[in-house]
């Protein structure tokens, strides 16, 4: 079974610029998650999708972050404009509906200068 | 306010000995707990889990113990191997409420020395 695919793996931008991350979950996994992991911290949930609907986006900074999951498969997370504190690894994860174990991708490391 | 706490940022153990990683939580509504392992430049990978109705779950060299009254869980690795060197994250979830939102601790970096 192919894993969760993410791109790009690394991105360096200047503050106030925009960036987008892409995620392709495991085939058949209805639930998709975006987590933010700041250096020295554990992953923190940004948004959770069930198919193409949002289940939980309570911790997503909606003034600058947006995410979509068109057609219930791939997902894109966008940051515009980026701030220095957005420097982090953005992890995508997926699971079968109702499953209690998430499978994570390798992450996209963002550095904002 | 951290709901899941891993108070030891790092742990060093000799190969062949036992590694014990600890985790405390504050939310009594958590009903499922997981341990993830993370190597550098990779995403976290699932290791072992335990439901709140159990107090122990074992999988090969890995055993997780849950003490609900103390709101404490621990991961035991016996015997420890150099390949176990990684960051270990404890995570908790309230499936009755938050539909799968894992709350993670800050992680403990385990170093197993040959």
Tens-digit pLDDT profile for residues A13-22: 999 999 999 9
Tell me whether residues A102 and B93 touch, CB distance under 8 A: no
Please tell me the distance from the alpha carbon of residue A110 to that of residue A100, in angstroms, as a whole number: 28
Please tell me the distance from the alpha carbon of residue B103 to that of residue B114, in angstroms, as a whole number: 33
Please tell me the distance from the alpha carbon of residue B67 to that of residue B46, in angstroms, as a whole number: 21
pLDDT at B97: 56
- Is residue A52 very low, low, confident or very high in pLDDT (cuts 50, 70, 90)? confident
Tell me the pLDDT of chain A averaged across its residues: 94
Which residue on chain A is closest to B4 by alpha carbon?
A42
Please tell me the distance from the alpha carbon of residue A84 to that of residue A99, in angstroms, as a whole number: 35
- Name which of B34, B42, B102 is nearest A106 (Cβ-Cβ): B42
Q: In chain A, what percentage of residues exceed pLDDT 90?
A: 87
pLDDT in tens, A85-95: 999 999 999 99
Residues on chain A touching B46 (C-beta within 8 angstroms): 101-103
pLDDT at A13: 97
Structural contact between residues A25 and A32, judged by C-beta atoms closer than 8 angstroms: yes
- Name which of A31, A50, A100 is nearest B95 (Cβ-Cβ): A100
Residues on chain A touching B95 (C-beta within 8 angstroms): 100
Q: Where are the alpha helices (DSSP H) in chain A?
A: none
Residues on chain B touching A23 (C-beta within 8 angstroms): none
Q: Split chain B (114 residues) into runs of 10 and give each run's mean pLDDT.
A: 91 98 94 95 94 96 97 98 97 73 94 96
- Name which of A43, A48, A91 is nearest B100 (Cβ-Cβ): A48
- Is residue A71 very low, low, confident or very high in pLDDT (cuts 50, 70, 90)? confident
Residue B91 burial (C-beta neighbours within 10 Å; 0-12, 13-18, 19+): buried
Which residue on chain A is closest to B38 by alpha carbon?
A106
- Name which of B43, B101, B104 is nearest A56 (Cβ-Cβ): B101
**One-letter-per-residue 3-state SS of A56-78:** ECCCCCCCCEEEECHHHCCEEEE
* Residue A7 Cα, gap to closest chain B Cα (Å): 13
């Amino acid at each position: 079974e192919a894993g969760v695919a993410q791109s790009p793996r690394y991105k360096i931008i200047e503050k106030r610029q925009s960036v987008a991350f892409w995620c392709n979950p495991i085939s058949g996994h209805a639930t998709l998650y975006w987590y933010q992991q700041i250096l020295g911290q554990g992953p923190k949930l940004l948004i959770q999708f069930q198919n193409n609907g949002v289940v939980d986006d309570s911790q997503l900074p909606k003034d600058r972050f947006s995410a979509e999951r068109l057609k219930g498969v791939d997902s894109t997370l966008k940051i515009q404009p980026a701030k220095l504190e957005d420097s982090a690894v953005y992890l995508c994860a997926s699971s079968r509906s109702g499953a209690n174990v998430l499978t994570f991708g390798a992450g996209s490391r963002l550095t904002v200068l | 306010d951290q709901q899941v706490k891993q108070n030891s940022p790092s742990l060093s153990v000799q190969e062949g000995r036992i590694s014990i990683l600890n985790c405390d939580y504050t939310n009594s509504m958590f009903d499922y707990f997981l341990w993830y392992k993370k190597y550098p430049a990779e995403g976290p990978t699932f290791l072992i889990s335990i439901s709140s109705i159990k107090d122990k779950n074992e999988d090969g060299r890995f055993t997780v113990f849950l003490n609900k009254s103390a709101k404490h869980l621990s991961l035991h690795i016996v015997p420890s191997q150099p390949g176990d060197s990684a960051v270990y994250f404890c995570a908790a979830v309230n499936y009755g409420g938050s539909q799968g939102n894992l709350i993670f601790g800050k992680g403990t970096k385990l170093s197993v020395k040959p």
